[in-house]
Amino acid sequence: MRQEILTLSSGQKIDNVPAFSGLIHVTAQGLESEGLAFPEIHRDAEKMARAAASTFKLTGFPSAVAPLDMVVEAEALGAEVDFHENGGFTFPRVKHFVFESGVQCLQTLEALESNPKSDDFGLHSSGRVKLVCEAIVKLKKDIGNEVVIGGLIPGPYTLLLFLVEPGALFTGMRREPQVMIDALFHLSSILSQVGTAYRNAGADFITVHDMGGSPGFIGPAKYEQFVFPAEKQLIEQLPSPRVLSVCGNTNKSMHLLAQTGADAISVDQTNDLVASRAALKDTLLFGDIDPVTALWQGGESEIRDAVLRAERSGVDAVWPGCDLVPQTPVENIRALLQNEKS
């Protein structure tokens, strides 16, 4: 299956519709099987790799992804992160926003870029970017001959949401739109460095998970004005294969998503797959199994129906529509594999 997925990702046709994911897909059962707790898998390369590999080892699901949260780059740029050390399955989040305005954010990013001593923004040599690269190396050594390994980065707008206080961000978009657009281009350059570092560490592809920057969240007009230009630049700067993952109803913007240059677009369960297939033409379409009602709360019949609907609608690969809920039963992941087209 690994080779088939790599062949598909290169733009060639394959006989099967594979099921895999470039989004976070660790499970509570997988962590238990490795003797790991959720809060500890984000700051230790070995534990991150073991956690990421656990889904494959329990179910045969032919992919693994690192990192296992979305705030690695925000932390590298100065955000304080809450890892929820008290336990449970809450993903790390930013405690406090770094910038009080878009202008402050842009000035800081410009200063970083103009400093010859920080031409890599310190991302490759410090913080968790380096740790994630180490985890990918370990993943590659452990299961890299059997699965595809994905590197996960946020989109520029999603990263901006982690950095700038929301009220100031939305006010800036209205009053100083060019400032926000310029900041997004700077963040795009940073993210391209991170994604390239993950590929150099051994990731087979990069997923740009632009949850907050999806036209389903921000709206088609603001997506075209603010998100699309920087997102397109980011994808151009990343090595192929590149998957762009977007959430929500993106039906009115599929023509723009097709123009980002992504090799594949991943959509969720609110998307019209038939219309998306027609709009994407030569771009691969991944999706769109509901990670909550089907994979977490559903059973084999719900998963079978969702997979068949996705395949009949023209997806090139069956993907969960978003990150897995950690409590997703591993039996449901096995059911997802059993129901893919053969």
Domains by residue range for the chain, with CATH:
2-338 (3.20.20.210)
Alpha-carbon distance 298 to 326, whole Å?
14
Cβ–Cβ < 8 Å for 246, 215? yes
Instruction: Give the per-residue pLDDT at 126.
Output: 58
Which element (helix H / strand E) includes 206?
strand 205-209
CA distances from 74 to 57, 171, 180, 336 (A): 31, 21, 16, 33
Cβ–Cβ < 8 Å for 337, 19? yes
Instruction: Give the per-residue pLDDT at 119.
Output: 43
Instruction: Give the per-residue pLDDT at 281.
Output: 87
Which DSSP symbol is given to 223? I
Instruction: Give the per-residue pLDDT at 241.
Output: 97
Alpha-carbon distance 45 to 56, whole Å?
18
The neighbouring-strand residues paired with 317 are: 286
| Sign of CA pseudo-dihedral 261, 311, 67, 91 | positive
Instruction: Give the per-residue pLDDT at 342.
Output: 42
For 167, half-sphere exposure in the C-beta direction (CA atoms, 13 angstrom radius) is: 1
Tens digit of each residue's pLDDT, the chain (342 residues): 999 999 999 989 899 999 999 999 999 999 999 999 999 999 999 999 999 999 999 999 999 999 999 999 999 999 999 999 988 999 999 999 999 999 999 999 998 888 755 545 455 555 799 999 999 999 999 999 999 999 999 999 999 999 999 999 999 999 999 999 999 999 999 999 999 999 999 999 999 999 999 999 999 999 999 999 999 999 999 999 999 999 999 999 999 999 999 999 999 999 999 999 999 988 999 999 999 999 999 999 999 999 999 999 999 999 999 999 999 999 999 999 986 544
CA distances from 152 to 33, 34, 130, 185 (A): 24, 22, 14, 19
